Chain A
Amino acid sequence: MNDSKLIKPDAWEFLKTHTDARIALGSVGTAMPLAEVLAFKMAHAHARDAVYSELNESALIDDLATFDLPIYTLQSQVNNRHTYLQRPDWGRKLSEASKKELAQAKGNADIAFIMADGLSATAINKHAFLLLKILIPLLQQAGFSIAPLSIVRQGRVAIGDDIGETLQAKCSVVLIGERPGLSSPDSMGAYLTYQPKVGLTDESRNCVSNIRSEGLSYQTAAEKIFYLIQESFRLQYSGVSLKDNTDSGLLT
């Protein structure tokens, strides 16, 4: 790996300033140099580890205690990752035991927050609390009531419908680990659904995506979600016809 004379560099390395794409890698024969191959494999390893990561429930519960809200630890109808990856339908429904447990909760609050592992529990372990630390006070100051918090193992986005409906919440916000990319193993998404109920599909939701250190900051994400919640309460719907105008000046 140390004899750089073995590698033919590309004359256009200066183009790397324009993109994060893996350009100007150089070559050995027709192949990529080994350092590039190993860097790729390491990125893939991080993504794979993220898919198989698990929620750190005790740490989450300790952090979330600051909000002084009831916390439920729930499970979908899936027991392991192998099944989770093959049966998205089962990941959208609560297990019988979890359903019973949640039925005891006090209902009728405005907003139910649900933290689900999705395809990267790492993302939830890293970002969920830090986002809520900004967002929940913002909502409370604006007069919104917050339902009990839920942490869900092996959950998909639509499990928020099951939980939100059981809690009789007016709106659900699912924080979930997004499908890891090679450069983003810990990206979190937030899916907002007004009047959640079982059977809704993606067009009924609004999504704030790419919440992570190198992506959307906690502050910006919290403001976007806060805006969408206010708008959905005002309009009494969520989904494709509810537009996020918070950055209309940015997209040209």
Chain B
Amino acid sequence: MPYHYTVKNRRYAFEDLKTLLAKATPFRTGDALAGLTAESYEERIAAQIALADVPLQTFLNDLVIPYETDEVSRLIVDSHDTEGFKKIAHFTVGDLRNWLLLEETDAAILQKMAFAFTPEMVAAVSKLMRNQDLIAVAQKCTVVTQFRNTIGLKGRLSTRLQPNHPTDDAKGIAASIIDGLLNGSGDAVIGINPATDSPAVVARLLHMLDGLIARFDMPTQSCVLAHVTTTLQLIEEKVPVDLVFQSIGGTEKTNSSFGVSLALLDEAYAAALSLKRGTIGNNVMYFETGQGSALSANAHESVDQQTCEARAYAVARKYAPHLVNSVVGFIGPEYLYDGKQIIRAALEDHFCGKLLGLPMGMDICYTNHAEADQDDMDNLLTLLGVAGCNFIMGVPGADDIMLNYQSTSFHDALYLRKVLNKKASPEFESWLLNQGIMDEKGRKLPIKEAHLLLNAV
């Protein structure tokens, strides 16, 4: 047994790296459901102590899923920055944790190191870190992306305006968009989850969004979160597509359960780039992820759900996305049971994504069968604001009437900007000022009945 630790007379042995990673993971129901979790509190900490001593070099040899059988593993190995890795090649996982927290390890260094880290390395180190550490290190990372505006700058907090409607009714969706815009939301993207994947419906919504953005000269981008094959078809049909969306996971099998492969994503990325619809930048992809998706697809390959999630980020970063969003509390209590587990998972995902160089946002959310409520979301919202999360969701009143779950409201974003002295993305902030929606302090202004946005539905 290569990995072991002895507590008094009890020797804990872990047969391989994936077992060690799973046993070292802070408890969550999804790993218990998969039968991967430590059997006692003692075993979990023994695993963490053993993990702290594992050299980072080991992660390049003991792959959690074999290179031969999984294209995500191949991507991770083949895209590893071996030159950059030399700086940390002598570290153990424990050393990496201590190094990340050093004053001298700053934003510029972390940015340079993004591809020297593998997902498994950052997942491993996150398991040894307290919530405070996850926040402190993530806050040092800056990941900036551009399409029609600039997302991720220090002191900024953006929102995805999510105006969903159970029957994709155009007026219903437009009403929610207007509500969001007049509350200062929508700079990350105006992104609709369609109730149906029908290409005709998706095309209609894309035309509607394109018209609205053009008419008001809005420095933002649109997205209808259809399957990538649907969006590809619509690109061919010359429907105005800004960002191309897809849900992705951290194993080849998870991705195939989503109906995608790296080859298909390559194709989608090339198609999206060819449109050249971004005015100031070319980050054209929008990905969503979430712990538990691999297990839910029966595709986790005995790897714990947080490590699977970090591996999904290797897929995401291949395509220089504009936005990556972990939909943390959506999956339900059999994966993340309560507010405590959701908060921990969100901080891990944000940390791992940022370290791997991704523009991480978070859907701070819960379902009605999870042990969580608005107070938990307020806690997580505030923590992620401090951690420097690029964007959050903006849902009218926090209640998504199509997907039937609770996320963050437009008001929540205003709260976070206020208490942490943050602003919308610079281009969008100017637009809000010009439209008379907000003042220079980010306060809502009274809207006159003649305002053109009120007549846009």
- Which residues of chain A have a CB within 8 Å of any CB of chain B? 8, 10-12, 15-16, 18-25, 27, 29-32, 36, 40-41, 43-44, 47-48, 50-51, 85-89, 119, 179-184, 251-252
Contact = CB atoms under 8 A, between A and B. Distances in A.
Given A10-B447, A86-B334, A119-B369, A27 B175 contact: no
Nearest to B200: A252
A31 B32 contact: no
A30 B399 contact: no
Interface string B410-424: 010011011000000
A21 B172 contact: yes
B32 to A, nearest CB: 7
B165 A89 contact: no
Nearest to B163: A21
B415 A31 contact: yes
B398 interface: yes
Interface stretch (B43-51, B79-87, B176-184, B236-244): B176-184
B33 interface: yes
Contacts of B178: 12, 15, 23
B373 interface: yes
B333 interface: yes
Contacts of B200: 252
Nearest to B168: A251
**B interface, how many residues as a size bin?**
35 or more
B368 A21 contact: no
A15 B175 contact: yes
Interface stretch (B16-24, B141-149, B401-409): B401-409
A251 B451 CA distance: 34
A41 B374 contact: yes
A44 B454 CA distance: 31
Determine which residue in A30, A182, A184, A252 has the highest number of CB atoms from chain B within 10 A of its CB, and name it: A30
Contacts of A30: 411, 414-415, 417-418
B452 interface: no
Contacts of B173: 19
B318 interface: no
B33 A27 contact: no
Contacts of B369: 51, 85, 119, 179-180
Contacts of A48: 368
B176 A8 contact: no
B368 A51 contact: yes
Given A31-B415, A44-B368, A184-B404, A21 B176 contact: yes
Given A41-B374, A86-B29, A88-B334, A21 B406 contact: no
Contact of A12 (B29, B32, B182, B367): B182
B404 A11 contact: no
A29 B441 CA distance: 13
Given A30-B414, A86-B32, A89-B33, A19 B176 contact: yes
Given A12-B178, A15-B178, A251 B196 contact: yes
Nearest to A201: B298
Contact of A179 (B165, B398, B404, B447): B404
Interface in B365-412: 367-369, 373-374, 396-399, 401, 404-406, 409, 411
A88 B317 CA distance: 33
13 contacts: A11-B454, A12-B175, A12-B447, A20-B401, A23-B175, A30-B411, A40-B397, A41-B374, A50-B368, A87-B33, A89-B33, A182-B406, A184-B404
A47 B368 contact: yes
Contacts of B414: 27, 30
A22 B415 contact: no
B267 interface: no
B365 to A, nearest CB: 13
- Minimum-distance CB pairs A-B, first 7: A22-B397, A181-B404, A19-B172, A23-B179, A30-B414, A47-B368, A15-B175
B405 to A, nearest CB: 8
Contacts, number: 135
B165 A44 contact: no
B174 interface: yes
Interface string B439-457: 0000010111101001001
Nearest to A31: B411
B258 to A, nearest CB: 15
A22 B454 contact: no
A229 to B, nearest CB: 24
A15 B457 contact: yes
Interface string B27-60: 0010011000000000000000000000000000
A19 B401 contact: yes
Contact of B399 (A15, A18, A40, A50): A40
B39 to A, nearest CB: 16
Contacts of A23: 175-176, 178-179, 396-397
Determine which residue in A19, A22, A41 has the highest number of CB atoms from chain B within 10 A of its CB, and name it: A19
A22 B374 contact: no
A10 B401 contact: no
A18 B172 contact: yes
Interface in B318-359: 333-334, 337
Contact of A22 (B182, B399, B449): B399
Nearest to A181: B404
B62 interface: no
B215 interface: no
A22 B411 CA distance: 12
A184 B182 CA distance: 28
Contacts of B405: 181
B374 A32 contact: no
Given A179-B404, A182-B399, A18 B368 contact: no
B107 to A, nearest CB: 29
Contacts of B169: 18-19
Contact of B33 (A15, A50, A86): A86
Contacts of A251: 196, 198
A78 B94 CA distance: 41
Given A21-B165, A21-B176, 17 more contacts: A12-B178, A15-B175, A18-B175, A19-B165, A19-B396, A27-B444, A30-B411, A30-B418, A32-B411, A50-B368, A51-B368, A85-B333, A86-B32, A86-B337, A87-B334, A179-B369, A251-B196
